[in-house]
Amino acid sequence: MAPMGIRLSPLGMAVFCLLGLGVLYHLYSGFLAGRFAFFMLSEPAAGGPEAPRGPTAAVDLRELLAVSMLAAARGGEEVRRVREGNVLNAKAKGKTREGAEEQLTSGDLLSNRRMVRLLRAAFPAVQINSEEHVDTADEEAVSWDRSIPEDVKQKIQPKEVPAESVTVWIDPLDATQEYTEDLRQYVTTMVCVAVNGKPVIGVIHKPFSEYTAWAMVDGGSNVKARSSYNEKTPRIIVSRSHAGKVEQVARQTFGNKTVIIPAGGAGYKVLALLDVAEKNQEEADVYIHVTYIKKWDICAGNAVLRALGGHMTTLTGEEINYTGPDGNEGGLIASINMDHKALIEKLPDLEKTSHK
């Protein structure tokens, strides 16, 4: 029962409620304003740490060329050290499509680790595709001092491209089979940079002579094409394992005087088309491969040839795209200072074997 003599005034209740609302507004308005200000100030900064990986990130191709050259050389040091120490620890890692055993050595793995770590440290926003696996949990600190070789500085101007347009292809040890047989002249380490699927930077390093060929499309290079070739006795360089497949068709196509040069390693074969300062380098006019081949085997050579005005295509003349799957199904034909289209028209039968 309500106490006698006390009556609740409607006007008083209204005033009391208004005072209460005023107190609540005073308390919470400052808080809400602060939270709004914090939100507005924080939103642009939220992407700060991730900004280098975003669509606005850019990489300088001249710097990427410089670090690619260093990576190839450092990988080559491991390749040479393992071979000279005779600690290859070679084992089969599988079979090729032709049924041959693919070899894996300590040289492949150690070279791959050094090359990948350096490139990742220098350009963390760039996609890197490598022949061998690197355990990211076992990463060690690697740094690059951003130095650029003088010959690169003189020939190449800085050029920035979006990071997401770049794919780097690494072959830490090309010609592993020949490496196990101690056929050192065929062995290379290679780095290729593709922009929107097109190869624009190629580095081919020979570990045992420490010779490095490099080139950048619309930039410069330290190699050049050979000025002439003999049309009457063309020299066709092919894989050692495929020489028999190519020889008969090549002689029918180019004539009985055609010279077939069996060799190991895609990098070595591309260098054979160029004028290089290497005493152990054979010379050829055309490079033909008639079966499936991985893109890290051929990307660097493709970039070098493009930079010098040459061509590397499938056997049907299609440009090879360096995004997506890591394999090239269409075989390849490479040439420089020749009518590439005419060469392709002479090879209608080879494409049939390229998918085997």
Based on the domain organization, do 251 and 114 belong to the same domain?
Answer: no
Based on the domain organization, do 155 and 270 belong to the same domain?
Answer: no
The number of angstroms, rounded, from the C-alpha of 266 to the middle of its chain's C-alpha atoms is 15
Based on the domain organization, do 199 and 266 belong to the same domain?
Answer: no
**Can you tell me the distance from the alpha carbon of 258 to that of 232, in angstroms, rounded to the nearest whole number?**
8
Q: Strand, helix or coil at 260? A: strand
- Which residues participate in the annotated binding site for Mg(2+)? 131, 171, 173-174, 297
- Does residue 204 form part of some domain? yes
- Does residue 31 form part of some domain? no
**Can you tell me the distance from the alpha carbon of 212 to that of 207, in angstroms, rounded to the nearest whole number?**
9
Which secondary-structure segment (H or E) carries 306? helix 295-307
- Does residue 51 form part of some domain? no
Answer with the one of 181, 198, 222 that is the final residue of a domain: 222
Q: Which of 105, 108, 258, 313 is catalytic?
A: 108
> Is residue 247 within 8 Å of residue 234, measured between CB atoms?
no
Based on the domain organization, do 121 and 146 belong to the same domain?
Answer: yes
Give the residue numbers spanning the domain of 112. Answer: 58-222
Q: Which of 167, 176, 188, 314 is catalytic?
A: 176
Based on the domain organization, do 121 and 185 belong to the same domain?
Answer: yes
CATH classification of the domain holding 305: 3.40.190.80
Supply the DSSP symbol for 136.
G
Per-residue pLDDT at 128: 96
Helices (H), 57-167: 61-84, 106-122, 150-155
Q: Phi/psi zone of residue 147: left (φ > 0), alpha (ψ -120 to 50 degrees), beta?
A: beta
DSSP calls for 273-300: TEE-S-TT----SEEEE-S-EEHHHHHH
> Is residue 308 within 8 Å of residue 215, measured between CB atoms?
yes
151 is catalytic: no
Q: What is the pLDDT along the chain (356 residues), one digit of tens a residue?
A: 444 444 556 655 555 555 555 545 544 444 343 333 333 333 333 333 333 444 558 999 999 999 999 999 999 999 999 999 999 999 887 655 555 667 899 999 999 999 999 999 999 999 999 988 766 555 566 889 999 999 999 999 999 999 999 999 999 999 999 999 999 999 999 999 999 999 999 999 999 999 999 999 999 999 999 877 777 788 999 999 888 878 877 787 788 889 999 999 999 999 999 999 888 899 999 999 999 999 999 999 999 999 999 999 999 999 999 999 999 999 999 999 999 998 898 876 555 555 55
Based on the domain organization, do 238 and 130 belong to the same domain?
Answer: no
Interval 153-194: pLDDT, tens: 999 999 999 999 999 999 999 999 999 999 999 999 999 999
Based on the domain organization, do 243 and 284 belong to the same domain?
Answer: yes
Identify the CA nearest to 172 among candidates 197, 153, 189, 148: 189
Per-residue pLDDT at 96: 59
**Can you tell me the distance from the alpha carbon of 255 to that of 249, in angstroms, rounded to the nearest whole number?**
10
Identify the CA nearest to 266 among candidates 231, 245, 242, 235: 242
Q: How far is CA 52 from CA 49, 58, 219, in A?
A: 7, 8, 25
Per-residue pLDDT at 253: 78
If one counts the domains in the chain, the total is 2
Residue whose tokens read 């081949």: 293
- Does residue 355 form part of some domain? no
Based on the domain organization, do 208 and 286 belong to the same domain?
Answer: no
Answer with the one of 190, 222, 254 that is the final residue of a domain: 222
138 is catalytic: no
- Does residue 10 form part of some domain? no
**Can you tell me the distance from the alpha carbon of 272 to that of 226, in angstroms, rounded to the nearest whole number?**
10
- Does residue 148 form part of some domain? yes
Based on the domain organization, do 213 and 73 belong to the same domain?
Answer: yes
Answer with the one of 171, 201, 222 that is the final residue of a domain: 222
- Which residues participate in the annotated binding site? 131, 171, 173-174, 297
* 277: amino acid identity, one letter: A
- Does residue 285 form part of some domain? yes
- Does residue 8 form part of some domain? no
Based on the domain organization, do 214 and 114 belong to the same domain?
Answer: yes
CATH classification of the domain holding 125: 3.30.540.10
Based on the domain organization, do 159 and 261 belong to the same domain?
Answer: no
Based on the domain organization, do 147 and 210 belong to the same domain?
Answer: yes
